[in-house]
Structure 1
């Protein structure tokens, strides 16, 4: 499983896999990754797939996450932070440093989101 999306890491993961296994990638970097289909996938019988949001069905997954949040089992409010547009540089720096996810909003939206989360 690759969680970085960094091309070098993806290639290293492919080269370290055994025969007939599966590599799941959970992130993308926006940079191209060169893969030799014959040598790296077909001959060793390796499969690779991209996975987003755990391939979940939103109609069931989102209500489940809301339920976890209400029970105190999913602290999304501690994992994300809202930034106003004038704080964009700080937001990207925090994301790069792994401090938290990024959400941009207007003040009105932020207030509405906070009120909804509290109920």
Structure 2
């Protein structure tokens, strides 16, 4: 398994035009980028999700909507009323990363155990 690297930056995706009609305009996701390029993002809204991308370029190729979304580097200080939203988003990102990290060895054991392949 490739090491995730160190934290490079925290960012927000700011959508100034909602082309799809799903996410709305404004900040639609928060994320982190590592020194290896790995990106983990937490989508906001009615149906939040946490996703992992190999790179920010890959994520923007799908979600950038041809320039309708900007990447804003987060470097604080942050307004007190925004801190709960930021903490919740990044806590969920860390929860997902922890789950994936713990499952890595279990998945490897499952894949290499005899008699596990079924049709």
- TM beyond 0.5: no
TM-score by length of 1: 0.29
By relative contact order (CA 8 Å, sep 6+), the higher-ranking structure is 2
TM-score by length of 2: 0.29
Q: Which has the larger radius of gyration?
A: 1
Q: Which protein has the bigger strand share?
A: 2
Q: Which protein has the bigger helix share?
A: 1
